[in-house]
Amino acid sequence: MSGAALQPFGRAEAPVLAALHARAFAPEERWGEAAIRLMLGLDGGFGLLAGPAEAPLGFVLARAVAGEAEVLTLAVDPPAQGAGVGAALLRAALAEAARRGAACLFLEVSEANAPARALYARAGAAEVGRRRRYYSDGSDALVLRVSLS
Ligand SMILES: CC(C)(COP(=O)(O)OP(=O)(O)OC[C@H]1O[C@@H](n2cnc3c(N)ncnc32)[C@H](O)[C@@H]1OP(=O)(O)O)[C@@H](O)C(=O)NCCC(=O)NCCS
């Protein structure tokens, strides 16, 4: 890409983002419209999408509360993957979390998800925990932390 502009999104984009999420994730990991609206409405929740709001290339949903932030989900449409969109979204989420006063940001990722792990490692994420057999395929979840200060 990586020139696609990023912009905040709101509840109105939930349908198009749920469709994108369904293309990017396995069935048991998919988030529907209601989940996206719910996460966006959490205390400190925010969302950023890449590309045009009516046909986004990817999006990130995150929250920043009481000095800590977390990425709730990050998805890039499969045809747009590998072109820097995910890295741009992650960078923007880190910047927005810092702007909102977070000193660190947490991420959860399957140990089997090599692309996401590589992306997060490049952003400076360090493993701080592990949830055994967390995902439906039996893989562990790694809890990662990025320092924003
Ligand atoms: C993970 C995901 C968000 C990455 O987005 P992307 O736009 O494809 O990633 P980028 O093109 O920005 O790549 C950034 C870095 O990620 C890593 N990466 C991306 N795709 C990769 C792949 N297929 N294999 C290994 N590393 C990969 C690389 O380190 C890359 O840096 P480089 O291009 O300098 O080598 C995207 O693949 C996706 O939506 N996957 C399905 C959903 C998912 O797993 N979300 C994360 C859940 S925690």
Lowest mean pLDDT among 5-14, 56-65, 132-141: 132-141
Residue 120 lies in a domain: yes
What CA–CA distance (Å, rounded) separates 44 from 2?
27
Measured in degrees and rounded to the nearest 5, phi and psi for residue 20 equal: -65, -45
Residue 1 lies in a domain: no
pLDDT above 60: residue 15 = yes
CATH number at residue 114: 3.40.630.30
108 catalytic? Reply is: yes
What CA–CA distance (Å, rounded) separates 42 from 39?
5
Q: At 1, is the pLDDT very low, low, confident or very high (cuts 50, 70, 90)?
A: very low
Q: How many domains does the chain have?
A: 1
Residue 119 lies in a domain: yes
> What is the domain extent for residue 10?
6-147
pLDDT at 149: 84
Atom of ligand 1 nearest to the CA of 85: 7
Rounded mean pLDDT of the chain? Answer: 96
120 catalytic? Reply is: yes
Q: Is 143 in the pocket of ligand 1 (CB under 6 A)?
A: no
